[in-house]
Structure 1
């Protein structure tokens, strides 16, 4: 089960500036997903050009508390296990298109406007 942890520098021996580039890139990209839109774990990995869905999930499980983690879902629109109620509350507030108990990926999937020029640091709108 994926558990979303709140990053707490007092509890976590890794300080925010010391996280590796991949972790930072995942978190920066997730921060850029607009309200009402989502990306899948795999789409994030593909856009970054490295890692895979499980690696993206691991980053969000450990460091995802401060970012809009609910905007990252399975490719089929399935919500984060164990966090469905909170996700649904946030989707309703943001107007995220739903199809039953899943995000409607056809309507809600977001693709960043361009690929990162440098996979380390990037700036997208």
Structure 2
């Protein structure tokens, strides 16, 4: 599971985002919370910041850094929220 999650997150292209639920569905994980746990423990070398909550917001404890990293890729927030209709990644999986 760990490697599959890492593989999926690593394949999110610059300028796009996915939700924890999106990644969980693609990886066959039982819950989006598992994705958050995997990224927190073993996601520092992949683009973890491209994964958001279902409402388009980052987790509060990493919000500033996450939005900063996304901004460098052209993903712009409106009041700390990313528009998923605009930036959501739709892979051909």
Common fold: TM-score over 0.5: yes
Of Structure 1 and Structure 2, the greater helix share is in 2
Match of 2:28 in 1: 49
Q: Unaligned regions of 5+ residues in structure 1, if any?
A: 1-21, 115-125
Match of 2:79 in 1: 100
Match of 1:75 in 2: 54
How many residues matched? Answer: 93
User: Are positions 1:23 and 2:5 aligned together?
Assistant: no
Q: Which has the larger radius of gyration?
A: 1
Runs of 4+ in 1 over 4 A off after TM superposition: none
Supply the distance in 1 between the matched residues of 2:30 and 2:82 (Cα, whole angstroms): 23
Supply the distance in 2 between the matched residues of 1:30 and 1:80 (Cα, whole angstroms): 16
Q: Unaligned regions of 5+ residues in structure 2, if any?
A: none
What CA RMSD, in Å, does the superposition of the two structures yield over aligned residues?
1.2
Q: TM-score, normalised by structure 2?
A: 0.92
Q: TM-score, normalised by structure 1?
A: 0.70
